Structure 1
């Protein structure tokens, strides 16, 4: 298949969390055209049913691919990836990269053999997480906790709003207060929103702990899948697309611009 140099890479999330995936990809491929799509009308995904997400995500990505003709799509959302990735791949005729919890690197890095998986409620209950934990952390205590409030904290941070430090403390203590949690030394940020508030989580930790997520690995995967393809000679402004545009999305303009997204479209 011939790919035009200006064919964009499409990133998709329920909100702004996927920016944590976009950043390392943009560093790896600095002239790539970027379309970043957020399902603001369906946000948040973490409290939705599996059936809702499995139906909604492929339909939206189909519309986005039809409009923007990307060379590749990235589901920059753990919840959507763990539930809808296979449905999306079946529906689209371009490569689709999913985002999965970074359980393997956490297991490799944990000295205490206790690590946490901090995500949305929908992600942490998925059988996919069970399989990753069994495969890579069989000798570890793997704690899980879902926090919808932490997703909202990340969105608020990018809108420039004041943040309540108790939200990060509560999210971490959802792991620490479980049996063995006092020995936890690594936390998997299993929601793409959470790397955006890693600083707040580190400040809330009662003892030093490491945080891991999948952004760098996804950047390498994008590079692999697009090797040999032509790229533009120079960077161009990216596009942010929202399924609903209101004052909350307008408040994101400065943060979006810092990620190279200078235009807002409505889907």
Structure 2
């Protein structure tokens, strides 16, 4: 199928977390047209039921694909990917890239053979995470903790609000205070929001920890899947699409511009 050079990449998340995927993708594909879609009306996903997410995400992505005609869609959200990726792929006639916890890299990097998975409540309880841990970290102790507050911290950071340092500290304590947590040396940031507050997590850590996430790997996957396709000669302003446009969205404008998203649209 022939692809127009102006056909965009579509990135989808519940909020701004997917910017941690968009950033590395922009570095690899600097002239790629971009639509960044955030389900602000449904945010946050991490506290919702599997049934809600499984129904909501394919329907929203169907509407987005119909409106913007992207060449490829990226579910830049761990929660949505672990629950709805197969349903989205079945519903759309374009390639769909999911975002899964970076458990394989963590297992390769951990010297103590104890690593943590820090995500949303919905992500850390998924059987998909069980399978990844069994496949790639069978000789490791894999600790898990869900933090809804850390998702909100990332959103607040991008709105330019003052940040409560106890939120990052409490999120890490949820891993460190478990049996074996004193030996943990690697933390998987299993929510795309969390790399946006990696600096805050590093400051809150009582000792040096290695944080890993999938942003660069997803960017390489996007580049690979589109390697034969044409791109514009020069970058163009990207569009951020929200399912609900309110004061919080307008407060994100400066941060969105840093990722090349100059326009705001409503779905």
TM over 0.5: yes
Q: CA deviation at 1:240?
A: 0.1
1:113-152 alignment to 2 at 5 Å?
113-152=113-152
Structure 2 CA distance, aligned partners of 1:54 and 1:90?
12
1:186-205 alignment to 2 at 5 Å?
186-205=186-205
1:29-48 alignment to 2 at 5 Å?
29-48=29-48
Structure 2 CA distance, aligned partners of 1:109 and 1:264?
40
Structure 2 CA distance, aligned partners of 1:251 and 1:223?
31
The aligned residue for residue 53 of structure 2 is 53
Structure 2 CA distance, aligned partners of 1:156 and 1:111?
34
Task: Tell me the secondary structure at the aligned position of residue 235 of structure 1.
Answer: coil
Structure 2 CA distance, aligned partners of 1:138 and 1:3?
42
The aligned residue for residue 94 of structure 1 is 94
Task: Tell me the secondary structure at the aligned position of residue 198 of structure 1.
Answer: helix
More displaced 10-residue stretch of structure 1: 169-178 or 219-228: 219-228
The aligned residue for residue 159 of structure 2 is 159
The aligned residue for residue 231 of structure 1 is 231
The aligned residue for residue 107 of structure 2 is 107
Structure 1 CA distance, aligned partners of 2:219 and 2:71?
15
Aligned residues: 267
Structure 2 CA distance, aligned partners of 1:172 and 1:195?
14
Task: Tell me the secondary structure at the aligned position of residue 74 of structure 2.
Answer: strand
CA displacement 1:74-119 (0-9 Å, x = unmatched): 0000000000000000000000000000000000000111000000
Q: CA deviation at 1:162?
A: 0.1
1:170-185 alignment to 2 at 5 Å?
170-185=170-185
Structure 1 CA distance, aligned partners of 2:6 and 2:187?
38
Stretches of 4+ moved more than 3 A in 1?
none
Q: CA RMSD in A?
A: 0.3
Q: CA deviation at 1:150?
A: 0.1
Q: CA deviation at 1:229?
A: 0.3
Structure 2 CA distance, aligned partners of 1:32 and 1:191?
24
Task: Tell me the secondary structure at the aligned position of residue 21 of structure 1.
Answer: helix
* TM-score for the superposition, normalised by structure 2: 1.00
The aligned residue for residue 72 of structure 1 is 72
Q: CA deviation at 1:50?
A: 0.3
The aligned residue for residue 81 of structure 2 is 81
Structure 2 CA distance, aligned partners of 1:29 and 1:167?
34
